[in-house]
């Protein structure tokens, strides 16, 4: 039975895993992807029996995956998660918006469909009011027809009021993912009515500052490597033990620094390198993806040093 909207909102107070999708010869390695999903589902360290939440979005390279593969990727992910108590969110690049609609429609018809859709930032010229008008109409169309629920990924500070309006005014929007800065958290938390949706930190596992300001949950690009670390950070947030969360954050900070360097140059490839260097058999890093080759040797050495002290979190 599908989650109710309130159950979905509650489930988002968690580390939302955004695993890399592995590639071989620039083609999706579906077997390797299933292995990574198995790792995430089999290594759930969340307290209280909470479900694993997985989102295939930016760090997964969803922007560089064709429409048919987007649908197949979600179909195989959902099938792999079926009956295991997980929650699945599909990242949707909205350029052009007509293609996004086709993908939402196709994925909504799957036997095991996503629980929600994350609408990614629009590229190219746009106006915040246009974001509001277009996404309100989009959510109404596909929410009414297919029961689709949406999260909005906010990457521009001038969209705070727009993001809040989407959640407050549309029954189909359940959350905003903050991709700007901690400075934008207080006004957004204040504007979004708690009964309508959640405000989620969207810039990695160093989420304690945002959690203190009122965010619920955070997205994690390293959860597919170090599930115990991401899970423990969120467990600590929910206990109000921000000192423990900050301690774990400090341990994974060197890897996060590499990922977010120079405008997130190694956001994907540093995770691939960590998967390779760990030598584990239960995950797959692949050979590098479109526009995202393996990191240079000097950066690989940095990744090795960054993960040497946190291998036990795998």
Terminal Cα-to-Cα distance of the chain (whole angstroms): 32
129-154 tens-digit pLDDT: 999 999 999 999 999 999 999 999 99
Distance CA 310, CA 56 (A): 25
Mean pLDDT of the chain: 97
E-assigned strands of 132-186? 150-154, 173-178
162-174 in b/e form (b: 16+ CB < 10 A) is bbbbbbeebebbb
Q: Which run of H or E residues covers position 116?
A: strand 116-119
> SS3 for 254-295, per residue?
HHHHHHCHHHHCCCCHHHHHHHHHHCCCCCCCCCCECCECCC
Instruction: Answer whether residue 260 shows pLDDT above 90.
Output: yes
pLDDT at residue 4, as a whole number: 95
The gap from C-alpha 214 to its chain's centroid, in whole angstroms, comes to 19
Q: How confident is the model at residue 125 (pLDDT cuts 50, 70, 90)?
A: very high
pLDDT at residue 184, as a whole number: 98
Instruction: Answer whether residue 2 shows pLDDT above 90.
Output: no
150-185 tens-digit pLDDT: 999 999 999 999 999 999 999 999 999 999 999 999
Say whether the peptide bond before residue 271 is cis (omega within 30 degrees of 0): no
Q: What is the CATH number of the domain that holds 206?
A: 3.20.20.70
Strands 173-178 and 23-24: unpaired
23-32 tens-digit pLDDT: 999 999 999 9
Distance CA 134, CA 149 (A): 15
The gap from C-alpha 262 to its chain's centroid, in whole angstroms, comes to 20
Task: Report yes or no: 116 and 150 within 8 Å, Cβ to Cβ.
Answer: yes
The gap from C-alpha 237 to its chain's centroid, in whole angstroms, comes to 18
SS3 label, residue 55:
strand
Q: How confident is the model at residue 52 (pLDDT cuts 50, 70, 90)?
A: very high
Instruction: Answer whether residue 1 shows pLDDT above 80.
Output: no
Count structural domains, the chain: 1
pLDDT at residue 293, as a whole number: 97
Task: Report yes or no: 40 and 52 within 8 Å, Cβ to Cβ.
Answer: yes
- Among 29, 101, 16, 34, CA closest to 65: 29
Distance CA 303, CA 308 (A): 9
Domain that includes residue 88, residue range: 5-313
Token pair for 126: 């746009």
- Among 241, 272, 237, 243, CA closest to 255: 272
CB-CB neighbours of 121 under 10 Å: 18
Q: 0.95 cut: is pTM over it? A: yes
- In this prediction, residues 198-209 reach a mean pLDDT of 98
- In this prediction, residues 46-70 reach a mean pLDDT of 97
- In this prediction, residues 253-282 reach a mean pLDDT of 97
């Amino acid at each position: 039975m599908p989650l109710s909207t309130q159950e979905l909102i509650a489930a988002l107070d968690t580390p939302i895993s955004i695993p890399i999708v592995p590639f071989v010869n620039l083609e999706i390695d579906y077997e390797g992807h299933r292995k990574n999903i198995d790792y995430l589902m089999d290594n759930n360290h969340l307290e209280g029996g909470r479900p694993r939440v997985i989102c295939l979005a930016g760090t997964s390279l969803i922007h560089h995956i064709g429409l048919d593969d987007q649908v197949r990727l979600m179909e195989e992910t959902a099938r792999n998660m079926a009956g295991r108590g997980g929650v699945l969110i599909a990242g949707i690049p909205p350029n052009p918006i007509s293609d996004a609609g086709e993908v939402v429609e196709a994925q909504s018809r799957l036997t095991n469909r996503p629980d929600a859709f994350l609408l990614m930032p629009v590229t190219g010229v746009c106006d915040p009011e246009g974001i509001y008008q277009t996404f309100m109409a989009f959510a109404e169309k596909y929410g009414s027809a297919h029961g689709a629920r949406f999260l909005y990924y906010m990457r521009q500070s001038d969209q705070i009021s727009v993001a809040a309006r989407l959640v407050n005014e549309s029954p189909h929007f359940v959350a905003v993912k903050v991709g700007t800065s901690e400075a934008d958290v207080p006004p957004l938390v204040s504007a979004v009515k708690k009964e309508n949706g959640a405000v989620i930190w969207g810039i990695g596992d160093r989420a304690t500052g945002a959690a203190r300001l009122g965010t619920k949950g955070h997205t994690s690009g390293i959860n597919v490597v170090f599930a115990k670390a991401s899970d423990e950070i969120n467990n600590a947030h929910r206990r109000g033990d921000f000192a423990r969360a900050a301690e774990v954050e400090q341990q994974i900070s060197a890897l996060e620094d590499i990922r977010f360097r120079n405008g997130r140059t190694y956001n994907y490839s540093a995770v691939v390198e960590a998967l390779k260097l760990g030598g584990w058999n239960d995950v797959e890093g692949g050979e590098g993806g479109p526009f995202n080759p393996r990191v240079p040797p000097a950066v690989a050495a940095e990744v090795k040093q960054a993960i040497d002290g946190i291998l036990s979190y795998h």
